[in-house]
Chain A
Amino acid sequence: MCLAIPGQIVSMVEGTAHGALVEVVGVRRRVDVSLVEPDGIAPGDWVLIHVGFAMSKIRADEAIDQLRMLSVLGEEEAAKQEARGYFDEESP
């Protein structure tokens, strides 16, 4: 639970507060980016995600290291499951 999942911002979701479409370990999900908005974020940026909320902005190379570490820690499957688990905005 303490490990964070890196994701790349695909687009900002218009018409919703603080929402962004983020690609997380191969799935696209809506993630709340209000906690990193003050740092300035844009599509292409990488963020560390914890329980559906982006917690900090990171560099692309760090994101790749983090993904690699999740896989070595055996947490990659859990991360995928978590990312898949975030509800789509459309779904209930």
Chain B
Amino acid sequence: MKFTDEFRQPELIARTADEIRRAADPARHYRLMEVCGGHTHAIYRFGLKDLLPPNIELIHGPGCPVCVLPMGRIDDGLTMAAENDLIFAAFGDMMRVPGTHGSPLEHKARGADIRTVYSPADALKLARANPERQVMFFAIGFETTAPSTALTLMRARAEGIRNFSVFCNHVTIIPAIRAILDSPDMRIDAFIGPGHVSTVIGCRPYEWIARNEGKPIVVSGFEPLDVLQAVVMILRQLQGGEARVENQYRRVVPWEGNRAALQAMAQVFTLRSYFEWRGMGFISQSALALNDAYAEWDAEKRFEVPGIRVTDPKAAQCGEVLKGVLKPAQCKLFGKECTPENPVGSLMVSSEGACAAYYQYEHRKEELISIPA
């Protein structure tokens, strides 16, 4: 067993792993998708795959905000900033994501005014501190992050700060899960539900997955024991022929979500009729835009959006990996042209991207193993 000494409750971990082996039908192959990139990272880091019997396969889902953003949106944002002399503010996760003419960091090296912020509120502070400049916040993230952008916009409006705008790329998790379930090449038995997205949306929005699709979904925390317990809960449901939404992460996730966060989102955002996801194409009602009350702060209404569309490099198979059809190492570029130091696709950039996580932990392990003694 790997990293045993780092586990908080090693005996409990071992017991839970035993429980999994007992609950799994050896005649059956299980495909469980962890929706959230945070889970993907934890699964690789803790070597949780090694604790599961070989007939339980973990499929990595689309829940990594940086990974699902099409390159064209990055190009759009950078172009809008350059053409309108904007301060381009974004999270650190975005800085190394490749655009057609380089990442935001490379644009900065060439003289663009690009700032890393750790909070949308800090982007607003940049606007306060630079009243003669226009600041555009490049917003990304699922429902975990969207409420923070909403509250920041509400503050901008209340204070009448007009040199601030948001280029909104917030996406929502439910339509992505639906797209995966509708995808003909996908066969998933159950889902490990996202932890921190669910602190906002709660557990109810997943009910259709159980009711209409007959798939169990268990919202899970990020510790090794959390993920293993979620697997036990899933196996028990499958064993009993049940499909329910369960909440393993009750210590953080309330069943009803965070009402204040949902209200803030409802005040500021509207659903886009469709949005492009990297590797998954256009998904209807899968992303947020600012509503009319916030038009003044909407970068897409204030500045011309080039609407750049970039086809991902043919050789890179980000889409297949993102949907869980391929494992990271099955992509032709993995570990060769595409590495964390020199990423071709965005899944290699963020630590929550399946490729970066796999490269950091699994790939190296294989390299070590292959060294002749």
Contacts and interface: CB of A to CB of B under 8 A. Distances in A.
Given A35-B258, A59-B251, A75-B351, A1 B120 contact: no
A62 B144 contact: no
Interface in B115-168: 116-122, 125-126, 128-129, 141-142, 144-145, 147-148, 151, 155
Interface stretch (B35-43, B105-113, B330-338): B35-43
**Residue of B126, B252, B350 contacting most chain A CB atoms (<10 Å):** B252
B148 A53 contact: yes
B196 A37 contact: no
Contacts, number: 123
Contacts of A87: 121-122, 125
A23 interface: no
A50 B144 contact: yes
Interface residues of B, number: 56
Interface in A29-60: 32, 34-38, 48, 50-53, 55-56, 58-59
Contact of A35 (B3, B92, B118, B261): B261
Given A37-B260, A56-B258, A87-B122, A1 B223 contact: no
A3 interface: yes
B70 interface: no
Contact of B91 (A1, A3, A32, A55): A1
A4 B196 contact: yes
B223 A65 contact: yes
Interface in B67-112: 91-93
Given A1-B350, A56-B252, A32 B151 contact: yes
Interface in B56-75: 63-66
Contacts of B91: 1, 51
B258 A62 contact: no
Given A35-B258, A92-B129, 19 more contacts: A1-B66, A1-B145, A2-B142, A3-B196, A17-B155, A34-B260, A35-B261, A50-B145, A50-B148, A51-B118, A51-B148, A52-B118, A52-B119, A52-B120, A55-B258, A56-B252, A58-B251, A65-B8, A87-B121
Interface of A: 1-4, 17, 32, 34-38, 48, 50-53, 55-56, 58-59, 62, 65, 68-69, 72-75, 78, 81-83, 85-87, 92
25 contacts: A1-B91, A1-B93, A1-B141, A2-B37, A2-B63, A4-B196, A34-B151, A35-B151, A38-B260, A48-B196, A50-B144, A50-B145, A53-B119, A55-B196, A55-B258, A59-B251, A65-B223, A72-B46, A73-B42, A78-B351, A85-B116, A85-B117, A85-B119, A86-B121, A92-B126
Interface of B: 3, 6, 8, 36-38, 41-42, 45-46, 63-66, 91-93, 116-122, 125-126, 128-129, 141-142, 144-145, 147-148, 151, 155, 194-197, 199-200, 222-223, 251-254, 258-261, 264, 350-352
